[in-house]
Structure 1
Amino acid sequence: MKSILNKLLLIGILTMVSNSLSAQNWINVKDTENFDKWRDFVVKIKDTYAPDSRDIYLSVYDDEEQAGKYVIETTSTEIQSYVLNEEKGSTFTVKLLPDSDLNGKTKGIINLSVANLRTRPSHSAEMATQTLLGTPVDVLKKLGGYYLIRTPEGYLAYVDRYGVQPKTEEELANWTSRNRAIYVADYGHAYLEANTTSPRVSDLVMGNILTVVSEGEDYWQLEYPDGRLGYVESNRLMKYDDWKAMVKPQADSVLQVAKRMIGVPYLWGGTSIKGVDCSGFTKTSYFMNGLIIPRDASQQYRQGEELNIMTDGDLDVKKAVSNLKKGDLIFFSASKETNPKQPITHVAIYMDNGEFIHAAGIVRINSFDPTAPNYDSQSLTIVGARRYLDNEEFIASHTLNSKKGY
């Protein structure tokens, strides 16, 4: 038992170290000694208005045109108001993103079957998440060959120029108004001609969205955000509007998608059937049923209806089986025994009778009941559960219809 807990503790520590490394290097000034008198001020800004770099961008750097002056670059209007209210305008200039250098192309559409989004604008940087072809995003800033973007769930990360096609508001609206198709098979390809022996245009995965040029009996010709054309087998597609009207955020449907990913390998940052991390797995299972939930496990834990499954800080199996419903999310903390704040490090989808499905090594089904043959000792680190389904307020604000570009 002790060795198991030590191993889980190590996983938690590594996760926290990785998270701290992936945080923005948000103070970028050359004369740090001269800047010291302002450090407390900008740290207070971060702690108050931008504590999580995954959803609020903040960077402080030298004003190249005025010595001893600084620029606060951010996505937060609250930070701008705070600086003005504190009358620090003589020292700090607030630059709100999106950047004016984008010339109005402040929207974008993901252009690859699965685009890798990173914590910094570099191929060697940690992969923060992934986003699927056809996903509408906000484009905030260009740095060399990379764009800082914001995904529909509000996640900030960098994608290379091949991964996103920048658009104006008008161009995004045009894309949204067109006849679109969604790829509903697990995995496949688009071809230059209407046969599978033709050269390939790209791979495709479940959840990819493209516009329809023409519909044949066996193949549809589709267009990518960057204008490429490809033929896709019609039996692997659905008209997007028909699919969106059909899908409902219901437990059995969420679990049906989840089970399609059984055996898929764990991939840090992964959100597609090619590879998933724990929260990417839950996010994808919900997305294919019309619901956009927060990206990371810790963010998913902060929303939804809290469920009573614990007694004196430990999982109460009888209570959990009684109070959980299919499709609920179960959360784990690898540092549960040593850290009172219990940072969330894992998430699973509840099935029934104590069983849950999750991405841990591979996507698999386990039980938190110690008497079950598929019991997983990771259940010792369960710290809570949340319900998104049957929560009308949450669903109303997180459906595809509530997100611009979908």
Structure 2
Amino acid sequence: MNLKITALFCFMLGIQQVSQAQTDSTLYKKVEKIVSEAKQKYAPDKRTKIVALVQADAKNNQYVIESTEAEASQFLIKQLKGLKAKVNIKNLPDTSVSDKIYGVINLSVANMRTQPGNASEMATQSLLGTQVDILQKDRGEYRVRTPEGYISYVPASSVVAMNKQEIADWKANKKLIYTQEFGKSYSQADQKSMRVSDLVYGDILALKGESAAFYQVEYPDKRQAFIPKEEALTFEQWLSSRDLTSENVLASAKTMMGLPYLWGGTSVKGVDCSGFTKTAYYMNGVVIPRDASQQVLAGDKIDILDKDGHFDSEKALKNLKPADLLFFASGKNSNPNARVTHVALYIGNGEFIHAAGTVRINSMLKNAQNYDDFQTRTVVAARRYIGAKDTQIQAVKDNAYYKK
């Protein structure tokens, strides 16, 4: 997933002076069209790959394009050749991060946004100890890519930037994973000592030592702390104890009952609908796509629709299995081909668990007391992840961001 560090690839297409007639919107539209073609071919989902025209000065025929995809950059060079324009292609990661193209999250839960700044929409979250790719630095924030490939912005204070040797040293550490819902680390091997930070389920730290009752740990920024042994496992122990079954996925999901809905949330501090399903699978040692509209493209398709493409409850009850993912479009009478806006985990007997206001259980059966939420949405698809042969559904132990 990492590009060779090229920092800034700059080329000039045409060096002669051009007339005002040649500097109108016609040339801009040509550049825009070529970028759009590259985007569709190499980066159709901007949440995971970037090909973007970020600056356009049509009057002076100057353009800046950003790309995370080497093949897209080569395509652009070829297609733009001959145009009388000056085009800079910035391959990400760029020079703003120097050789610090790796990062490790340094907070219990780091909030990540669609654009720099706390006023921007929250896109997702990452947990302490999670490795990310650093692509760019902008206004005191890093643009990063998470283990599931999601690209967003995070404050520089939330992540420790590392070069190749530093990330290798971090990954070489024996790791510890926090397994309680909420807790804290201590400055001494004493629960009455000062807190170092809060912790949530899934946080990962370097294991530096242990006593009869405490693990000694190190944060990515080298802070030292202590965690009660009954609240954590070594990462190897945790991985070996993961067993991806429907019972285990649903048991993990039910531990989040009552959690508040949080747009962009993917932790026990709060979840959105797809953050909830993502977290339930992560608790069982599996990394899945981030958003509902991405999750619906993974796994094995389950037939739950009638011949006209509308939800068929009898077929659903027959074909669905526990821990399957149900996907919804908003509105009771939505077109079944409408954009996916919601996801839930099927429990069985017509019931499903999902994050909607809070994490709760509803039913697709009209005579059920908890049917109320179902009638406000339309089921448009279902997918089975357990047993699916799909590279988008990956065991944590096989994911490059978690392996040594």
Mark the CA change 1:32 to 1:47 in structure 2 (over 3 Å): closer, same or farther. farther
- SS of the residue 1:330 aligns to: strand
Specify the alignment match of 1:349 in structure 2. Answer: 345
- SS of the residue 2:333 aligns to: coil
Specify the alignment match of 1:200 in structure 2. Answer: 195
Specify the alignment match of 2:124 in structure 1. Answer: 129
Distance apart, 1:162 and its partner CA: 1.4
* Alpha-carbon distance between aligned partners in 1 of 2:56 and 2:330, rounded to the nearest angstrom: 43
Distance apart, 1:67 and its partner CA: 4.9
Distance apart, 1:201 and its partner CA: 1.0
* Alpha-carbon distance between aligned partners in 2 of 1:397 and 1:372, rounded to the nearest angstrom: 33
Specify the alignment match of 2:5 in structure 1. Answer: none
Larger Rg: 2
Give 1:287's aligned amino acid.
Answer: Y
Asked if residue 284 in structure 1 is aligned to residue 308 in structure 2, the reply is no
- What is the count of residue pairs matched by the alignment? 374
* Alpha-carbon distance between aligned partners in 1 of 2:269 and 2:107, rounded to the nearest angstrom: 13
Asked if residue 386 in structure 1 is aligned to residue 383 in structure 2, the reply is yes
TM-score (ref. length: structure 1)? 0.87
Specify the alignment match of 1:42 in structure 2. Answer: 35
* Alpha-carbon distance between aligned partners in 1 of 2:335 and 2:24, rounded to the nearest angstrom: 33
Distance apart, 1:310 and its partner CA: 1.4
Give 1:388's aligned amino acid.
Answer: Y
Give 2:44's aligned amino acid.
Answer: P
Distance apart, 1:61 and its partner CA: 4.0
Q: Deviations over 1:210-262 (max 9, x none)?
A: 01121122221211111111111110000111111111222111111100000
Contact 2:35/2:52 (CA < 8 Å) preserved in 1?
no
Distance apart, 1:336 and its partner CA: 6.8
Give 2:216's aligned amino acid.
Answer: Q
Contact 1:272/1:284 (CA < 8 Å) preserved in 2?
yes
Contact 2:336/2:378 (CA < 8 Å) preserved in 1?
no
Percent of counterpart pairs with the same letter?
Answer: 44
* Alpha-carbon distance between aligned partners in 2 of 1:347 and 1:400, rounded to the nearest angstrom: 22
* Alpha-carbon distance between aligned partners in 2 of 1:398 and 1:41, rounded to the nearest angstrom: 34
Moved more, 250-259 or 52-61: 52-61
The one of 394, 397, 400 equivalent to 1:404 is 400
TM alignment of 1:4-403, pairs within 5 A: 33=25, 35-62=28-55, 67-88=60-81, 91=85, 92-311=87-306, 312-335=308-331, 337-339=333-335, 341-378=337-374, 380-391=377-388, 393-394=389-390, 398-403=394-399
Distance apart, 1:71 and its partner CA: 2.2
Bigger share in helix: 1
TM-score (ref. length: structure 2)? 0.87
Specify the alignment match of 1:28 in structure 2. Answer: none
Give 1:216's aligned amino acid.
Answer: S
Give 1:53's aligned amino acid.
Answer: K
- SS of the residue 2:238 aligns to: helix
For structure 1, the 5+ residue unaligned runs are 1-30
Distance apart, 1:59 and its partner CA: 3.3
- SS of the residue 1:85 aligns to: helix
- SS of the residue 1:342 aligns to: coil
Specify the alignment match of 2:17 in structure 1. Answer: none
- SS of the residue 1:38 aligns to: helix
Mark the CA change 1:383 to 1:394 in structure 2 (over 3 Å): closer, same or farther. same
Contact 1:120/1:157 (CA < 8 Å) preserved in 2?
yes
Contact 2:31/2:80 (CA < 8 Å) preserved in 1?
no
Mark the CA change 1:336 to 1:344 in structure 2 (over 3 Å): closer, same or farther. farther
- SS of the residue 1:162 aligns to: helix
Distance apart, 1:35 and its partner CA: 3.1
- SS of the residue 2:387 aligns to: coil
* Alpha-carbon distance between aligned partners in 2 of 1:291 and 1:302, rounded to the nearest angstrom: 16
- SS of the residue 1:319 aligns to: helix
Mark the CA change 1:397 to 1:272 in structure 2 (over 3 Å): closer, same or farther. closer
Distance apart, 1:32 and its partner CA: 8.4
- SS of the residue 2:208 aligns to: strand
* Alpha-carbon distance between aligned partners in 2 of 1:252 and 1:88, rounded to the nearest angstrom: 57
* Alpha-carbon distance between aligned partners in 1 of 2:287 and 2:39, rounded to the nearest angstrom: 27
Contact 1:182/1:210 (CA < 8 Å) preserved in 2?
yes
Contact 1:72/1:93 (CA < 8 Å) preserved in 2?
yes
Q: Deviations over 1:259-313 (max 9, x none)?
A: 0000000000000111000000000000011110000000000111000111133
Moved more, 375-384 or 244-253: 375-384
